Amino acid sequence: MHDIRFIRENPAAFDAGLARRGLDPLSAEIGAQDAQWRATSTAVQESLARRNEASKAIGAAMARGDAATADALKAEVATLKTRLPELETEEKALAEALQARLAAIPNLPAPEVPEGPDETANVEQHKWGTPRSLNFAPQDHADFGPALGLDFEAAAAISGARFAALRGQMARLHRALGQFMLDMQTGSNAYEETNPPLLVRDEAVYGTGQLPKFAEDLFRTTTGHWLIPTAEVSLTNLVREQILAEAVLPIRMTALTPCFRSEAGSAGRDTRGFIRQHQFEKVELVSICTPEQAADEHEHMLQSAQGILEALGLPYRRMLLCAGDMGFSAAKTFDLEVWLPSQGVYREISSISTCGDFQARRMNARFRPEGEKGTRFVHTLNGSGLAVGRTLVAVLENYQNADGSVTIPEVLLPYMGGMTELTPKL
């Protein structure tokens, strides 16, 4: 959510930021809406002031038994009240329209975010690891996975497309990955383990920015709850409507949760394999901090996510997203992309964003700066550390052997109950 005062005072800068996202200028239109609302609001307040004044006088008149004055004043208020309801209705409608307008505008890119319309303009910043050289043609996990327990057919019969059942050794490896990641993030990376709600209300999804614009990407229950598309929603909203002491910041949280996405608009993309599912697990990282801490927290989060890939020995690269490729709430985003040998490309496995006070404003999450009066909005950051499903794909493909087996990465061995590889079954 944008601060209307910022738009009022810096219309040119606001429009320039929108332009970097490829959006048309809005400040003139919003400014007009704002001016109209303020004028109406002022009119309402003036009417109320007069009413309140008269009501006090009525009270005083009645106290001294002056019924005539009281009745005269009542008549005056009565006429006032014929106009007030419509003014109030108008003011409310204008305020709501303005809020709705603001709620649908994405965050502005940070100054250092590169220009560009889409992913082709993202900037590679860092590359780690070299893809294993195989003496055979790398296979697609969708092809050799089923023999290892990745069951798409049975899941399709139960739930339809974009679902999978993991069975036996495959389920074990998947669990091992999630546990390993959670252990890393709650260990030296110092994120607090959290087990949040998976079903949330409108306000929570609005707070992180998926609503009102992206309802079609979410699943909704008959009770009106939303299934979280990412634990970012639950974790970030844990501080909603709170005023935190500065001393408790930064608050670092992590959670291993299922995520649910309708994938509306993704028809035809990644239809094979485990890359794009309606349901997947992810270890999410969230940091709630002061504006001054945000840059360091962003870096720490990056290191925390990269550390998983490095520990697993998965080659990856880090991309700084250009202005046109960022998500709705982000001010600056890094994507981590993991090497997938079957496709010969790097694929997104983590997205790590700083949102400034954009989400905090929507959630009304503030802190009390020490030695300062008043409150300020916190800054929020979120990132995947990592997407477990896609990490499973990356492990399968990068550790595949010519005979269709998959070697278990060393760091996962303590989680595998003695298993050292996945063995194909016919």
- State the minimum distance, in angstroms, from the CB of residue 58 to RNA: 4
Q: Which of 21, 261, 362, 366 is catalytic?
A: 261
- In the list 31, 62, 165, 320, the residue contacting RNA (rule: CB under 7 A) is 62
Residue 276 in contact with RNA, rule: CB under 7 A: no
Known binder of ligand: residue 122? no
- In the list 10, 279, 375, 405, the residue contacting RNA (rule: CB under 7 A) is 375
Number of residues located near RNA, criterion CB under 7 A = 28
Residue 41 in contact with RNA, rule: CB under 7 A: yes
Residue 51 in contact with RNA, rule: CB under 7 A: yes
Residue 365 in contact with RNA, rule: CB under 7 A: no
**Interatomic CA distance for residues 169 and 342, integer angstroms:** 22
Residue 52 in contact with RNA, rule: CB under 7 A: yes
Q: Is 101 a catalytic residue?
A: no
Buried b (16+ CB within 10 A) or exposed e, 390-412: bbbbbbbbbbbeeebbbebbebb
Q: Which stretch, 19-27, 38-46, 324-332, 396-404, contacts RNA (CB under 7 A)?
A: 38-46
Residue 5 in contact with RNA, rule: CB under 7 A: yes
Using DSSP's 3-state secondary structure scheme, residue 333 falls into strand
CA dist 82 to 11, 38, 74, 264, Å? 38, 21, 13, 49
- In the list 16, 23, 32, 81, the residue contacting RNA (rule: CB under 7 A) is 81
**Burial class of residue 3 in the structure, from the number of CB atoms within 10 Å of its CB (0-12 exposed, 13-18 middle, 19+ buried):** middle
Q: Which of 76, 90, 246, 348 is catalytic?
A: 348
- Binning the chain into helix, strand and coil, the percentages to the nearest 5 are 45, 20, 35
Residue 248 in contact with RNA, rule: CB under 7 A: no
**Interatomic CA distance for residues 301 and 288, integer angstroms:** 12
- Among 117, 387, 100, 101, which Cα is nearest to 259's? 387
- To the nearest 10°, report the CA torsion of 176, 179, 181, 184: -120
Angle of the 294-312 helix axis to the 169-186 helix axis, nearest 10: 140
Q: Which of the 8 DSSP states describes residue 220?
A: B
Residue 243 in contact with RNA, rule: CB under 7 A: yes
In sequence order, the 6+-apart residues with CB closer than 8 A to the CB of 203 are 237, 240
Q: Which of 172, 362, 366, 390 is catalytic?
A: 390
**Interatomic CA distance for residues 224 and 219, integer angstroms:** 10
Residue 87 in contact with RNA, rule: CB under 7 A: no
Q: Is 119 a catalytic residue?
A: no
- Among 10, 40, 38, which Cα is nearest to 26's? 10
Residue 53 in contact with RNA, rule: CB under 7 A: yes
Q: Which stretch, 58-66, 278-286, 409-417, 418-426, contacts RNA (CB under 7 A)?
A: 58-66
Q: Is 276 a catalytic residue?
A: yes
Q: Which of 252, 351, 361, 397 is catalytic?
A: 351
Give the number of C-alpha atoms closer than 13 A to the C-alpha of residue 405, restricted to the C-beta side: 9
Known binder of ligand: residue 40? no
Residue 46 in contact with RNA, rule: CB under 7 A: yes
Residue 198 in contact with RNA, rule: CB under 7 A: no
- State the minimum distance, in angstroms, from the CB of residue 49 to RNA: 3
- Among 258, 263, 209, 265, which Cα is nearest to 233's? 209
Residue 83 in contact with RNA, rule: CB under 7 A: no
Residue 74 in contact with RNA, rule: CB under 7 A: yes
Known binder of ligand: residue 231? yes
In sequence order, the 6+-apart residues with CB closer than 8 A to the CB of 154 are 165
Known binder of ligand: residue 29? no
Q: Which stretch, 71-79, 263-271, 282-290, 326-334, contacts RNA (CB under 7 A)?
A: 71-79
Phi/psi for 118 (5° steps) reads -155, -170
Annotated binding site for L-serine: 230-232, 261, 284, 382, 384
**Under the rule (CB under 7 A), what is the footprint of RNA?**
4-5, 38, 41-42, 45-46, 48-49, 51-56, 58-59, 62-63, 74, 77-78, 81, 92, 243, 373-375
Catalytic center residues? 261, 276, 348, 351, 390
Binding residue positions: 230-232, 261-263, 284, 348-351, 382, 384
